[in-house]
Amino acid sequence: MRVKVYKNVFESPLCSGSYDLNTAVFSASVEMAAYRWHASNWSMIRKLKSGEYRIYSRHADKKTGKKKNLGTFASRTAAEKHERAIQYFKHG
């Protein structure tokens, strides 16, 4: 199966108005897969079984091979606020 990659979103058949059902379904599944990959691999915040939210570092520690725990919070909004503070501190 050959897949055409569009550099510009507006060039895709979904935006032009002329597409068949197979193209539409395939494009939607690719977009969803990309969103899931992005959300799972780049998010530093994970929900624990206890209902709390924990922030992990993006890269694994070289000694232990695990991601560092950067804090545990009761709400996601508090975790996101702290994540922004971490990013500000790192990139300044």
DSSP assignments along 18-71, one per residue? ---HHHHHHHHHHHHHHHHHHHHHH--EEE-TTS-EEEEEEEE-TTTSSEEEEE
Q: What is the pLDDT of residue 18?
A: 52
pLDDT surpassing 90 at residue 90: no
pLDDT surpassing 60 at residue 43: yes
Between 87 and 79, where is the model more confident? Answer: 79
Q: In the beta sheet, which residues pair with residue 3?
A: none
Instruction: Read off the pLDDT band of 71 (50, 70, 90).
Output: very high
Element (H, E) at 90: helix 76-91
Instruction: Read off the pLDDT band of 39 (50, 70, 90).
Output: very low
